[in-house]
Structure 1
């Protein structure tokens, strides 16, 4: 239960809960302090009606109304939970779309369902002011394009604008450890910091801030430190636990466009999946990104129920350097949702068992 801080490049000061402190020497040290919710300066700290994602998980009550600030994965996941529990949820997002950075075609089925679940979704909108109100908090919402402002009162406000690496109180300067311009601990490809004795892994060492990425990163780093063969960090899957779920691994179509990379995209609509039809979830989609010539898989994305489970097959395929043909030749049971991965891979060659698509001659 001690709190740690650097005393020198080779020493750590540990302070116990009773205030007593002791200094210990170290030969090698791994920093894995994680991250904490980001809190913009515009929002007062420790306000009883202002939540961050940690406070929102300590369910003490279901508010009558809830404003979610930020349309990223944290805000949409927690907003969905509270809406399902009976709260009237409003979401504000400063950009022009939910889940900024995600491929837009994946957002279509999610946005449609969320508009039915939430009371309101305001895009291109920021919080311009917060004040106490008998109902909880009175919030000024401003359209960033038009400048138009409106006021609304909410019982609770959830600030979910992301997370930041936790380096508070570590006295990194005493150990000669540098930070990046985004506040992460600067590390090389092996996880080593500017101090050759100190390594870092997980959220504190860089994006993506995901638990499974942190776990594998730390395992590989420790394996190298003890002289064992260390696996390379494979493409990291990301999952948004909404309804429908959204998941992707590897290169996204958005990234490919930004980087000017030539790719071939094959999409299989779940409207052609017998299993999706029996679940009444025909709005899903599975798509693969591959190199035009070799067919090497570059990325896979899925929108639909169970996408977080389905993406694991794609993670293995990418980690093993598989091609679209390899994925297509793997026999998927019928009728299942996993079958949509094989169908999308078949489309790369212009053939698909359950979706007619004339071959180009």
Structure 2
């Protein structure tokens, strides 16, 4: 049946069914608003279908195999056999369960679901082109709209994601066979997470990064254990380089990835290098071939480009509604998720950094509540972040320099996992918990963790910041023994000068 060009109305139009959009839609439905949710691809968005969930599933699966294969110290001797097809099927099953759940929750909360692509046709009108041949389009009149279209991987010149050897993160998470070798372009969190997955699958991995270190934006003491573990896995790094082109190898199925010094690329207009490391021609850190002009040529079967993500705002005809974006295409919003128009909101990746699924969900809830007339606003003070590398990193609140810059007199406390009984019993004791507080008041300002289960442990410290807890509050909270969470208590005690299981500063 062909859908005619009809016009319907709705209180709230939500464009995009990722973690920001579907949360906004469900919450608006709970508040008795008439809600229409438009999604062009898959419910759950990039996070559930092609990002957070499938990547964490593969991280967990490869960790199981790697841990079993390297547990000789515990008296366990094993040689796990990995069936990638079965692993991918299990991962897909997890994804299907979650995305199916999103669709059911939306319907249970009275949300009308439309499959298609929405574009603005005015301040209160959108046109939805339905998915499928011959399905036509329709117009939607809305009182409020929520833009939740997310983000997409950034392509770099000469590396087209449509070319078979060139992968984005979505394609890398759906490979049918394990590549013998791969070049990863970008040492941010996506590049580092997937580099570890491939290394644990037995792939030879080389990471190219234009800066002089992994995980830009994170403190050196957090990155150090991650870099060390990656090196132990056999991952090789080429810092201070940018990938410039690739070509097929003569008489071989593989490719050669060409990289040049980042400062040269910046001078040519290819990007700006920061603290790029200097490399001399000849043998490089990874053993890659360096040609006379200091370029590198790295042989591989695949190349994964993971240099960041950009907002999906260019498909919406925002100018028809009068919605403004910044130069990078992000839709600018206030603390209530409003755009420059009172009745149009933007949430999630399309609304800017930090590009985190949980941040988008929080914004989605706020947008729905503001539309319903409730006094909601977004507070980023206790917004956590996690990197699912090996070991994990978790952060929340201010760093010590940020606290000092904000006018506080920061005091810090730290507890190493090597002093944690529970960490030692897991065989994973790299890293530490660090807390930052205001010396005068004792209020907790921030925290960072690198080590086992950092992504889970950071939640306690986020709650402490949200509730205005002090170091005394955290230190006086009795923690179960033996657990990793005791390290949080000990770090607070260390800041107070009376930690029991580590030397006080």
CA RMSD of aligned residues (A): 1.9
Shift of 1:20: 1.7
C-alpha contact 1:252 1:299 (8 A) present in aligned 2: yes
C-alpha contact 2:336 2:378 (8 A) present in aligned 1: no
- Give yes or no for the alignment of 1:340 onto 2:458: no
**Pick from 303, 307, 310: which aligns with 2:457?**
310
C-alpha contact 1:238 1:248 (8 A) present in aligned 2: yes
Within 2, Cα distance between the matches of 1:231 and 1:173?
A: 26
Residues 110-133 of structure 1 deviation map (CA, whole Å, 9 limit, x = unaligned): 111100113411222211322233
Match in the other structure for 2:341: 195
C-alpha contact 2:187 2:208 (8 A) present in aligned 1: yes
Closer/same/farther in 2, CA of residues 96 and 258 from structure 1, 3 Å limit: farther
Match in the other structure for 1:2: 116
Shift of 1:337: 0.8
Within 1, Cα distance between the matches of 2:404 and 2:377?
A: 30
Which runs of no fewer than 5 residues in structure 1 stay unpaired? none
More helix by share: 2
Shift of 1:236: 1.3
Shift of 1:108: 1.3
Match in the other structure for 2:435: 288
Within 1, Cα distance between the matches of 2:176 and 2:414?
A: 43
- Give yes or no for the alignment of 1:300 onto 2:418: no
Closer/same/farther in 2, CA of residues 28 and 13 from structure 1, 3 Å limit: same
C-alpha contact 1:220 1:233 (8 A) present in aligned 2: no
Match in the other structure for 2:258: 140
Q: Secondary structure at 1:114's aligned position in 2?
A: helix
Closer/same/farther in 2, CA of residues 87 and 115 from structure 1, 3 Å limit: same
Within 1, Cα distance between the matches of 2:125 and 2:427?
A: 60
C-alpha contact 1:102 1:254 (8 A) present in aligned 2: no
Match in the other structure for 2:168: 52
Shift of 1:193: 1.2
Match in the other structure for 1:322: 469
Within 1, Cα distance between the matches of 2:499 and 2:401?
A: 25
Q: Secondary structure at 2:456's aligned position in 1?
A: helix
- Give yes or no for the alignment of 1:277 onto 2:393: no
C-alpha contact 1:217 1:233 (8 A) present in aligned 2: no
Shift of 1:256: 4.6
Within 2, Cα distance between the matches of 1:255 and 1:69?
A: 30
Shift of 1:59: 2.6
Residues 155-199 of structure 1 deviation map (CA, whole Å, 9 limit, x = unaligned): 110000111111132101111111112321011221111222211
Q: How many pairs were matched up?
A: 358
- Give yes or no for the alignment of 1:124 onto 2:124: no
- Give yes or no for the alignment of 1:64 onto 2:152: no
**Pick from 349, 352, 361: which aligns with 1:206?**
352
Closer/same/farther in 2, CA of residues 255 and 95 from structure 1, 3 Å limit: farther
TM-score, normalised to structure 2, is 0.68
Counting only pairs closer than 5 Å after superposition, residues 228-267 of structure 1 correspond to structure 2 as 228-230=374-376, 232-234=378-380, 235-253=382-400, 255-256=402-403, 262-267=409-414
**Pick from 317, 323, 329: which aligns with 1:183?**
329
C-alpha contact 1:135 1:153 (8 A) present in aligned 2: no
Shift of 1:341: 0.4
Which runs of no fewer than 5 residues in structure 2 stay unpaired? 1-114, 263-277, 280-292
- Give yes or no for the alignment of 1:103 onto 2:219: yes
Within 1, Cα distance between the matches of 2:138 and 2:298?
A: 52
C-alpha contact 2:412 2:434 (8 A) present in aligned 1: yes
- Give yes or no for the alignment of 1:41 onto 2:160: no
Shift of 1:149: 1.6
Which stretch has the larger CA shift, 63-72 or 254-263? Answer: 254-263
Q: Secondary structure at 2:143's aligned position in 1?
A: coil
Within 1, Cα distance between the matches of 2:173 and 2:435?
A: 34
Match in the other structure for 2:295: 149
Within 2, Cα distance between the matches of 1:256 and 1:97?
A: 24
Within 1, Cα distance between the matches of 2:152 and 2:323?
A: 20
Closer/same/farther in 2, CA of residues 68 and 112 from structure 1, 3 Å limit: same
C-alpha contact 2:403 2:445 (8 A) present in aligned 1: no
TM-score, normalised to structure 1, is 0.94
**Pick from 9, 12, 15: which aligns with 2:129?**
15
Which stretch has the larger CA shift, 52-61 or 251-260? Answer: 251-260
C-alpha contact 1:103 1:253 (8 A) present in aligned 2: no
Shift of 1:260: 7.7
Residues 241-266 of structure 1 deviation map (CA, whole Å, 9 limit, x = unaligned): 11111111111246457778642222
Within 1, Cα distance between the matches of 2:346 and 2:148?
A: 6
Q: Secondary structure at 1:351's aligned position in 2?
A: coil
